[in-house]
Structure 1
Amino acid sequence: MTPTEQVAGPTAGRTATPPLPVKLVVAGGFGVGKTTAVGAVSEIEPLTTEAPITEVAAGVDDLTHTPAKTTTTVAMDFGCITIDPTLKLYLFGTPGQERFGFMWDDIVAGAVGALVVVDTRRLDDCYAAVDYFEHRGIPFAVAVNAFHGRVEHGLDEVRWALDVSDGVPVLVFDARDRGSVRDALLAVLEVALARQEAR
């Protein structure tokens, strides 16, 4: 039955209520898997603003752990996923480089929470994202991307290194796997809901 079809019984003559739109942000450092995650989970062809990495940019951005990376996000990524008939997530991925940080306020406006994607081989790249959401009181979860199926540090070590509270979920996920990304996004929703209920 489509949302515009009438429902029999007491609700005859009415149409189904469209799902509630919820905005989430996918953030993190350069090359940690943000664009991959949005693309893996989105039910539409994701909008990306990928541009080739030039020789000048390669001299600025650390490609040590991502030598095959040839493009980078210069504005944002966008995708969406319907969780159930009542809830639809709209995903906005931020650019990872510090020089594009001026865009973050506009991208994050109206978001109920964020997923901070982490590469444990270079944890320092995600400090800025963690600080951003902490200072603005935006609920977030930390998702450690399992590059090549492994992570360099345990979750307790990651939590300690990032100095995030016990109330912040820290989990391992695979940015290429739709179900894994969906579960990470649901963790963000849970912490955002808990924050709302606490108020």
Structure 2
Amino acid sequence: MNSARSDPPPDHVPPGEHDERLDGPRVALKILVAGGFGVGKTTLVGAVSEIRPLRTEEALTDLGAAVDDLDGVAAKTTTTVAMDFGRITLRDGVAIYLFGTPGQERFWFMWNELSRGALGAVVLADTRRLMASFASIDYFEQKGTPFVVAVNCFDDADRYEPPEIRTALDIDPHVPVLLCDARRNGSAKEVLVALVEHALRIAGAAASRPPSEPGPRPWPAPARAEG
């Protein structure tokens, strides 16, 4: 008979000791996933969430035809009417909570509440309808919220390089622009990592600024020309 002692499983907690995992995360980060109607926000949240994502999708009907612009996304049959929610738990007690914002203009009033306490935002873009990204970009620029622009590369969409996207959307040089596939877990996670790194750089620069040196004056975002 083998008398060798076997080690307890990794998740074993000795009797009388407290499992800190039951207390919830020690650090919680809130990230928004924004963008125009039909750019893939719900898909991205679902691709990375470790839990079954909360979705508030409703079917598109003829009653909304006058307000929902389906140009370029004619195959879309549902729309988010409140938010999407997902979660990612990292090591050392860090959890990321993802909130997908509704894309249609009639739901924009919810953005202020959803953006409270957010570390930053991912603005998803679709090259078939880039103009739909302007509202999200303007919103986060005016609030001073760190954000990255992630172009969701749809199968039937024209492909452009990040410098071309930056020029078309009139994005500041320091804002990261990435290409992604919102359906793929690895691709979506790369976007989130880029956002966290960008937000940390901004926070580090602000912390290193001398107290007597004022920060940049927040100017309203210039109106972008349509077309």
What TM-score results when the alignment is normalised by the length of structure 2? 0.79
1:59 matched to 2:66? The reply is yes
* Deviation (angstroms), 1:57: 1.4
Q: Distance in 2 between matches of 1:174 and 1:90?
A: 20
Structure 1 residue corresponding to 2:27, chosen from 17, 20, 27: 20
- How far apart are the structure 1 equivalents of 2:150 and 2:158? 11
User: Where does the alignment leave 5 or more consecutive residues of structure 1 unmatched?
Assistant: 7-12
**Which of 146, 154, 157 is residue 153 of structure 2 equivalent to?**
146
Q: TM-score, normalised by structure 1?
A: 0.90
Name the stretch that deviates more: 58-67 or 95-104: 58-67
* Partner of residue 81, structure 2: 74
Determine the structure 2 residue equivalent to 1:5: 13
Q: Report the CA distance shift for 1:132/1:47 in structure 2 as closer, same or farther (over 3 A).
A: same
**TM-fit CA distance, 1:19:** 4.7
Q: Which amino acid aligns with 2:13?
A: E
Pick from 130, 137, 148: which aligns with 1:130?
137
Query: Counterpart in 1 of 2:224?
Result: none
Query: What per-residue deviation string (whole Å, max 9, x for no partner) do you get for residues 59-109 of structure 1?
Result: 322223222211100110000112333421100000001111100000110
Match of 1:147, SS?
Answer: coil
- Which consecutive unaligned segments of at least 5 residues does structure 2 have? 1-9, 207-227
1:174-193 matches, cutoff 5 A = 174-193=181-200
Instruction: Give identity over the alignment, percent.
Output: 53
Matched letter for residue 23 of structure 1 = K
User: In structure 2, how many angstroms separate the alpha carbons of the residues matched to 1:118 and 1:52?
Assistant: 22
How many angstroms apart in 2 are the aligned matches of 1:151 and 1:87?
37
Runs ≥4 residues deviating over 6 A: none
1:49 matches 2:75: no
| CA distance in structure 2 between the aligned counterparts of 1:185 and 1:57, rounded to whole angstroms | 32
Higher helix share: 1
Matched residue count: 193
Q: Deviations over 1:145-188 (max 9, x none)?
A: 01017543321111012111121110000010011111101111
